[in-house]
Amino acid sequence: MDERGYVRLVLERGCQFCDNPRIRKVYWPFQFRSCQACLIQNIRSESTIIEHYGFPKELLECLPYFYRASGFEVEKIYYYKNIRELFSEYESILDTNKPIWIKQKQRDCELFMEDVIAREDAESEELNLKRQEREELIQSRALIIEQNINQMRNEKDHEGVQYQKKYLKECPSYLKARIQPRPFTHRSWKILKGKMKREYTDIVRRYRLQQEWMEAKARGFPRR
């Protein structure tokens, strides 16, 4: 696969077996994107290949793989299509040339796996960077919202009572808004503030009813 193919593999979406449009996971040893269901259909473990297919173990060293946990063990996983193609090519080689052919294939696989590791490391680094940027954006957003809420405490609700921070922080819209990984603008605050005002009224009413119920319970409920 050339560099353009690698770029398309990363930037495009969709399982390359069932066309599930949301899949972005790339399995670098096999050079495809796949959903979990299709992956399972197209892979075989090392033990299965040797025990059930009678595949020569030395040929497995010619194939790219990844590791997968299975119970308390970790096993190598191979792409079934690669197995078939390699074995077909192996069968076409003269017996006298097979040892040299195998050595060359093993060396090619080693070089390929070095490239796989490099690409997986680069992908991991990119994901870590995106995760860090996302966390920083959320923290920045939460800080701006907190500053706006502190200013909102100086305002009064529809009953003429100053907003209380403990009730403002229970508003569902606030809880949702503070963890979204998007920039927080003046317009964002205007929309959020309107939602919080409506929710605030319900929250205060709920606490007031709870308080009245507790007070009535403390006095003893009137007998019927």
Confidence of residue 97 (pLDDT cuts 50, 70, 90): very high
Token couple for 99: 């040892």
* Mean predicted confidence (pLDDT) in 83-94: 92
Identity of the residue numbered 99:
P
More confident residue, 186 or 3: 186
Contacts of 192 (CB under 8 A, 6+ apart): 145, 173, 174, 177
Between CA 178 and CA 182, with CA 180 as vertex, the angle to 5 degrees is 110
Return mean pLDDT, the chain: 90
Which stretch of 8-22, 35-49, 111-125, 204-218 has the lowest confidence by average pLDDT?
204-218
**Residue 29, burial from CB neighbour count under 10 angstroms (0-12, 13-18, 19+):** buried
Model confidence pLDDT, tens digit, residues 28-79 = 999 999 999 999 999 999 989 988 877 888 899 999 999 998 777 899 999 9
| Sheet with 73-79, edge to edge strand ranges | 43-45, 73-79, 66-70
**pLDDT of 224 strictly over 60:** no
